[in-house]
Structure 1
């Protein structure tokens, strides 16, 4: 299930690692997607719980993009508490002094994945990382100026899982989302 607080902290963590606590929003979106993809590969679940869509610039976390674009209302302690409004195609961390304890929505495993993604992609510019996702994420297909959902099954298959295993892993995510939805309504 999507967690605004968790994805806000993911974004905040990446921004805390870069010079000036600011980066192009396109690069941030790709880092977030690649972190979720790595988590899917290693643990069978995304970190953010967001759904994925194919857009002209590659795979994107759907709700997260709405927050970056200011199209979603932030809850208390959520996106707007962590990330500045987009300006000149960049986003920034609202506060530059964070400790590990501030990222309390993220497990140590989540942080390890974010660190691995950062080490691998920190030196890429926004267009380079965009091109990387076009060339190395076969689950993405050019939506020809629009957007289209990328099912988790397709990501699992692109990661080398068999069709049967990919379907089972996708069903496990859907079951988890349904269970979390029940508890969220209580």
Structure 2
């Protein structure tokens, strides 16, 4: 997960365009690609989860593996970015990457046990773009690639305007996952 975030960050710095077009959040162990995190944990909205499950095997430890029958389109930019990030950071343990992102990525803030959005324009400013450039690039990304923004906005609107999902502290992980998926499917 950290290498994916670092790859997106690198692509933004070099090309003013991310690889994933995902939303970024600060979590306890560093910055995360929000929807990708949900997909890796098997708890994304069903349509996206099905596409993910068709291309990737279940996560084992801190790694995912592409299924042999999955045909993903790549570009030179993606290949170069991933190669550079892999050469630079793959030797680091997961916990070393956590420490590194906490110390070096100023867009990350301690969410104190929760998660906090990392705004695209703030990340771009941390990479050295001035405020106007950062806002212009962020707006261009939002308007050209709204897929995650629309899904998240729709979820937020349903949460604000419709019944709330009721969870119990006694719910185990599988029960929580089922309740969340059932709630998402019913709304």
What's the TM-score, normalizing by structure 1? 0.71
Question: Which consecutive unaligned segments of at least 5 residues does structure 2 have?
Answer: 151-187
Say if 2:113 is the partner of 1:171.
no
Q: Distance in 2 between matches of 1:163 and 1:104?
A: 35
**Residue number in structure 1 paired with 2:29:** 57
In terms of Rg, which structure is larger? 2
**Residue number in structure 2 paired with 1:137:** 105
Residue 115 to residue 77, structure 1, CA distance change in 2 (3 Å):
farther
**Residue number in structure 2 paired with 1:43:** 15
Q: Distance in 2 between matches of 1:94 and 1:42?
A: 26
RMSD over aligned Cα, in angstroms? 2.6
Deviates more, 1:40-49 or 1:110-119: 40-49
Question: Which consecutive unaligned segments of at least 5 residues does structure 1 have?
Answer: 1-28
**Residue number in structure 1 paired with 2:3:** 31
What's the TM-score, normalizing by structure 2? 0.71
**Residue number in structure 1 paired with 2:55:** 82
Residue 150 to residue 104, structure 1, CA distance change in 2 (3 Å):
same
Of 80, 83, 86, which aligns to 1:118?
86
Residue 42 to residue 103, structure 1, CA distance change in 2 (3 Å):
farther
2:18 aligned counterpart, secondary structure: coil
In the comparison of the two structures, how many residue pairs are matched?
149
